[in-house]
Copies of this chain bind each other. A is one copy, B any other.
Amino acid sequence: MAEPRTRIQQKNRGAILDAALEVFSQHGFRGATLDQIAEVAGLSKPNLLYYFPSKEAIHVELLSGLLDSWLDPLRELDGAGDPVDEIVSYVLRKLEMARTLPRESRLFANEIVQGAPRIMEIIEGPLKALVDEKAALIAGWAEAGRIAPLDPHHLIFSIWSTTQHYADFDVQVRGILGARDDAHFDDAAAFLDRLYRRALTPD
């Protein structure tokens, strides 16, 4: 099954993963049922298990399959442009992902809040490596006096949390703002742009 052959197989696997994203991100792993996923996917429950060996396998496949694209914005952070612009641009890309891919964000949030039992190795392995690399880049900027001296790891954490907050805590944000559409994302973008620009620009 590692390399699906037919078109129908690819289509169904895709439908399953999309349905699983929908259901897992909303109810968490334990709260989600195969019945729900099967119904959203438009397949029968046994047919689900024809494509994936178990509920957990679907979840793992989802997490690992999405992680790569989830980290793309961070990978794009490089030394080319102005450091402050680079970082602010990363913030805004992350916020845009929270707007367009909230299910993915909540999928990871659910998993991590509950102790990340299924992706601990990834966190301590590839993810840590990537973060350390980018933290070194940022530290270099700070040492060169091109940005204010701020702990780069915690800077990254703050960027993750402030942006993903609009996906993970969406229902709270909307409840407090009384928001009925996505207009508040523009306000959030303006706020975060100003917050990080002010904090990062060297004196």
Contact A131 B176 (CB under 8 A): yes
Contact B191 A26 (CB under 8 A): no
**Which chain B residue shows the least CB distance to A109?**
B113
Report the contact-size class of chain A (Cβ under 8 Å from the partner). Answer: 35 or more
A127 touching B176 in the complex, CB below 8 Å, given contacts A116-B171, A198-B148: yes
Among B160, B172, B177, B192, point to the contact of A158 (Cβ < 8 A).
B192
Alpha-carbon gap, A169 to B105, bound state (A): 13
**Which chain B residue shows the least CB distance to A117?**
B171
Alpha-carbon gap, A132 to B113, bound state (A): 28
Chain B residues closer than 8 Å to A112, beta-carbon distance: 168-169, 171-172
Contact B165 A160 (CB under 8 A): yes
Among B128, B154, B158, point to the contact of A175 (Cβ < 8 A).
B128
Contact residues of A between 147 and 170, Cβ < 8 Å to B = 148, 150-151, 153-155, 157-158, 160-162, 164-166, 168-169
Question: At the interface, is chain A mostly helix, strand, loop or mixed?
Answer: helix
Does A106 lie at the interface of the complex (its beta carbon under 8 Å from any beta carbon of B)? yes
Using an 8 Å CB-CB cutoff, how does the interface string of A16-37 with B read, 1 for contact, 0 for none?
Answer: 0000000000111111000000
Chain B residues closer than 8 Å to A27, beta-carbon distance: 30, 114
In the complex, what's the smallest C-beta–C-beta distance from A106 to chain B, in angstroms? 5
Using an 8 Å CB-CB cutoff, how does the interface string of A48-88 with B read, 1 for contact, 0 for none?
Answer: 00000000000000000000000000000000000000000
Chain B residues closer than 8 Å to A188, beta-carbon distance: 154, 157
Among B28, B157, B191, point to the contact of A154 (Cβ < 8 A).
B191
Among B109, B116, B161, B191, point to the contact of A155 (Cβ < 8 A).
B191
Q: Can you show 19 pairs from A to B with CB atoms below 8 A apart?
A: A26-B115, A27-B30, A28-B30, A29-B31, A31-B31, A109-B168, A112-B169, A112-B171, A112-B172, A113-B113, A116-B171, A124-B176, A127-B176, A131-B176, A148-B194, A151-B190, A154-B188, A157-B169, A160-B169
